[in-house]
Amino acid sequence: MPDYRNLIGGELVPASDGRTLDSVNPATGEVWARIPASGAPDAEAAVAAARRAFPAWSALPALARAGYLRKVSEVFARNAEELARLETRDNGRILRDTLKKDLPGMAYLWQLAAGQCLDAAKGDTVILGPDTLGLTRREPYGVAVCIIPWNSPISTFSAKAAYALAAGNTVIVKPAEQASASVLRLGELLAEVFPPGVLNIVSGLGEEVGDALVRHRDVAKISLTGSTATGQAITRASADALKPLTFELGGKSPNIVFPDADLDAAAQGVTVNSVYTGNAGQVCVAGSRILIHHSIWDELLDRITRICAELVLDDPLDLRTTMGPIVSSAQYEHVRSYLELAEKEGASLLFGGRTGAEVVPGLPGGYWVSPTLYTTTDNSLRLCQEEIFGPVAVAMPFSSDEEALAIANDSRYGLAAGVWTRDLGRAHRFVRDLQSGTVWVNTFRQMPPGLPFGGVKDSGYGHDSVLEYTREKAAIIQI
């Protein structure tokens, strides 16, 4: 059984007290690896190592830092299949996504971040008067803590660490305890790339090592992708030191389909590309509120039903599989509770609602939930307002643009939204008026590097980019 270790100060080390956590394969329910159950002493060691490495790393010319990041891209290219299989085994995300989408995309992202190292070194010049010159310069914060989720560990690791390092920060990555193995293995590979202490990876429970990291006075910047509740807890924990925060949090994204849309594309977009396949709905942008114009209600629901009937739920390491399991027993029970709640709230079950061994009989120990869709006319239901983070969606009818917009914005969340229409004017109006950080038109869940990604309201603020990991300093020079 693999026994993974932390990366601290360039060394691969266990938790200081030797404790470990089990990594469970969600497709089978079996323990397949162990990870360090790190605590406050390990957090202290990681921060100390990052502090020691910061002066030399931040002093490197931008092009020199870019060279290190390009080496990371090469590591991804050489080890793509191993890392993809590890991640699929660890969190259940299907191999056809980790291998065909995630890993190639991350190799490109590190190359892109390398090319942006110079952006973090640029400033402005302002002529304030004939004898007065104003200058701005960007500087790294120092030690940056990046807290990543379990649904796409390597992708989120890359989106945070690449830009933080490009800006000249040293980095500590805290992966989610439910899925740390792929990131810890990546740490083994990257220990040969970076100088000691520049990149550190520490696994363990959030309430132990995570809390110690965010409270540490020598941590200068925190970036989290996770739940809204976790973001609120980190805000409270970091308040004494007034640390700058970047949060990409929960979502309850609307997917709005108008009568003039390409209905075949829309049906694919609100199912395969949104809430069911790949991560079994365990994505923050999942379009789990499907708003359908009443004139196409029956027609679109029929297309959605036929698409979902063809989904293949099986071993996520099989490239034929199109939807995987729920990541853990705790999350499985969380999703199941919403199936029970939907019945109590009076939502109508259109399809799905099955769990456990009846979904995939060949893998009886796995955490399986079938693709599930409810219908309702009441957006105030908890089913419509709360993030489920599983393959559960709810469809609601609307009759006008104004009604669709009102329903879409009637949410505490504002991470993303989808609009399906051929009307260019309507598309631009909804891009303007939807309260969300990203709006997709006639597509869904495209997140190309180079565009900002973040939310509003309870979905967070800021986004991972080179400039987000720098602070701006002004200088006024009297000539």
Amino acid in the structure at residue 120: A
- Name the DSSP letter for residue 404: H
Query: Considering Cα of 190, then 109, then 325, then 146, what sign does the dihedral take?
Result: positive
CB-count burial class (<10 Å; 0-12, 13-18, 19+) for 351: middle
CB-count burial class (<10 Å; 0-12, 13-18, 19+) for 151: buried
* Three-state DSSP state, 143: strand
Query: Which residue in the list 87, 177, 208, 248 is annotated as catalytic?
Result: 248
Backbone angles phi, psi at 296, to 5 degrees: -120, 15
Whether 248 is a known active-site residue: answer yes
Which residues lie below 8 Å from residue 301, measured CB to CB, with a gap of 6+?
292, 350, 373, 375, 395
CB atoms within 10 A of CB 80: 19
Tell me the C-alpha to C-alpha distance, in Å, between residue 78 and each of 71, 104, 160, 384.
Answer: 11, 11, 21, 43
Locate 350 and state its tokens.
């259109």
Of 394, 371, 459, the residue nearest 255 (C-alpha) = 394
Q: Which helix (H) or strand (E) holds 82?
A: helix 80-91
Cβ(189)–Cβ(75) under 8 Å?
yes
Beta-strand pair 416-420/11-13: unpaired
Active site residues: 248
